[in-house]
Amino acid sequence: MTGGDPAGVAHLYVHLPFCASRCGYCAFVVEVGREDARDAYLDAVLAELERERAVLGALDTVYLGGGTPTLMGAERLSRLLGAIAPMLAPGAEVTVEANPETMDDALAASLAAAGVSRVSLGAQSSRPHLLGILDRRAQPGDAERAVRAVRTAGIPRLSMDLMLAVPGQSAGDLAADLEWVVAQDPDHVSWYELEFKEGSAIARGPHSPPDDELAADLYEQAVEGLEDAGYRWYELANFARPGAECRHSLAYWRARDYLGIGVGAVSTLGGERRRNAPGLDRYIAALPGGEEPPRTREAVDADTRRRERWMLGTRLDEPLDVAWAGDPDNPEALVVLEDRGLIERRDGTVLLTRRGRLLQNAVMQQIMDFA
Ligand SMILES: C[S@@+](CC[C@H](N)C(=O)[O-])C[C@H]1O[C@@H](n2cnc3c(N)ncnc32)[C@H](O)[C@@H]1O
Ligand code: SF4
């Protein structure tokens, strides 16, 4: 490792890959029908954490993602969180992703007792026909029960994930989702556009994504609706009550170093990107014996870092410091984009305007030459 933060890495991601079934749109590293391996996997994750511990400073954020972390069950999650607890900085943000049908009062209470400060609930929609297209197991009632469980347990922050541009989704469906999610009163909402990932079941048909114009309209409708309800549109797909922004995700968008452990987990450490290989059995076999998990390593060269800083930094509603990010490939495009009202430039920073943010991808294609 070269460079990096001398005080140590402050952000930890742990991948917990078990799922009851694979949703048709999902291309994440997921293991279905392997619950038998959860104990061995936890041991391996704890071994990897121990191996990598030297790179960590006091942790500002921890994120247990998946997969379905809640399928690990209360006891294993408590063991994992107990091992992490001594590494936390005061006031650290500790998030656990949860699928609604897996959350109940007992699990929520045990997460609260283990120091979880934030639950991110994958609701996706309140519309049963859209949940069907997405192959989701949970119905809206499950999400509502999960919200109550998290609140009753006193976990300070709740985030909900929703999906837009789902095949067949109308403006009316989106309005219903908006009304429903606002009624649940989460502190934070992530509203992702459904991606038809290569190799996923949904990409093989029979559904096709809505056309670009409808997708753009649905996105704008979601942004306006959540802003009207008092959420800050602080990142292209993320909305927060004041002060409830996800600090862990902010670290990614601000291109900070982070350590990822578990199968398929990615780390960025001092100019190096490491990717743990998928494949549960090889991971489990390697770690308890003290071996490095199967992984690839690549240097993040200056050019890649510059592009990433621009691409990620312009997702936020905060100005990008050009001296920090590096020069844009096409500085002349900045003048044109400013004239068209898509960006603002001030004191060496670039900030996308509201219209620029709605078109961020197209704006960035002008500024940078992506391969
Ligand atoms: C990897 S999932 C893990 C959380 C949990 N298992 C769940 O399904 O809610 C995290 C979030 O990624 C989003 N996601 C997954 N696949 C996606 C896709 N193809 N397009 C857009 N968002 C996706 C979903 O909103 C999901 O809530
Ligand atoms: S979307 Fe979530 S529940 Fe569905 S397969 Fe992916 S990780 Fe598992």
Q: Which ligand is nearest to the CA of 202?
A: 1
Tell me the per-residue pLDDT of 130-139, one tens digit each, with 9 for 90 and over: 999 999 999 9
pLDDT computed for residue 131 by the predictor: 96
pLDDT computed for residue 117 by the predictor: 98
Residue 53 corresponds to which tokens in the numbers above? 């511990």
Q: Is 135 in the pocket of ligand 1 (CB under 6 A)?
A: no
Residue 246 corresponds to which tokens in the numbers above? 């996800």
Neighbours of 273 (CB within 10 A): 15
Residue minimizing CA distance to atom 21 of ligand 1: 194
pLDDT computed for residue 199 by the predictor: 86
Mean pLDDT on 93-121: 98
Mean pLDDT on 83-109: 98
pLDDT computed for residue 235 by the predictor: 98
pLDDT at 2 over 50: no
Q: In whole numbers, what is the pLDDT of the chain averaged over residues?
A: 96
As annotated, the residues of the chain forming the CATH 3.20.20.70 domain(s) are: 9-253
pLDDT at 1 over 70: no
As annotated, the residues of the chain forming the CATH 1.10.10 domain(s) are: 302-367
Distance CA 121, CA 31 (A): 19
pLDDT computed for residue 4 by the predictor: 60
Confidence of residue 7 (pLDDT cuts 50, 70, 90): confident
Q: Is 26 in the pocket of ligand 1 (CB under 6 A)?
A: yes
Mean pLDDT on 343-364: 96
Given ligand 1 and candidates 161, 190, 219, which is best to mutate, with the most ligand atoms within 8 Å of its CB?
Answer: 161
Residue 272 corresponds to which tokens in the numbers above? 């190096």
pLDDT computed for residue 290 by the predictor: 82
Distance 65 CA to ligand 1 centre (A): 10
Mean pLDDT on 303-325: 96
Distance CA 100, CA 71 (A): 11
CATH for 302-367 is 1.10.10
Tell me the per-residue pLDDT of 189-234, one tens digit each, with 9 for 90 and over: 999 999 999 889 999 989 988 999 999 999 999 999 999 999 999 9
Mean pLDDT on 6-34: 95
Tell me the per-residue pLDDT of 43-83, one tens digit each, with 9 for 90 and over: 999 999 999 999 999 999 999 999 999 999 999 999 999 99
Does CATH number 3.40.50.1820 belong to domain 9-253?
A: no
pLDDT computed for residue 371 by the predictor: 67
User: Which one, of 149, 147, 126, lies nearest residue 138 by Cα?
Assistant: 126
pLDDT at 3 over 60: no
Distance 350 CA to ligand 1 centre (A): 30
Q: Is 312 in the pocket of ligand 1 (CB under 6 A)?
A: no
pLDDT computed for residue 205 by the predictor: 83
User: How many residues are recorded in the chain?
Assistant: 371
Q: What is the pTM of this model?
A: 0.96
- Least trusted range by pLDDT, from 142-146, 243-247, 289-293: 289-293
What is the DSSP code string of 270-339?
TTEEEEEPS-HHHHHHHTTTTPPPSEEEEE--HHHHHHHHHHHHTTBSS-EEHHHH---S-HHHHHHHHH
Confidence of residue 370 (pLDDT cuts 50, 70, 90): confident
Given ligand 1 and candidates 22, 97, 181, which is best to mutate, with the most ligand atoms within 8 Å of its CB?
Answer: 97
> In percent, how much of the chain has pLDDT > 90?
94
pLDDT at 186 over 70: yes
Tell me the per-residue pLDDT of 230-281, one tens digit each, with 9 for 90 and over: 999 999 999 999 999 999 999 999 999 999 999 999 999 989 999 999 999 9
Mean pLDDT on 74-102: 98
pLDDT computed for residue 57 by the predictor: 97
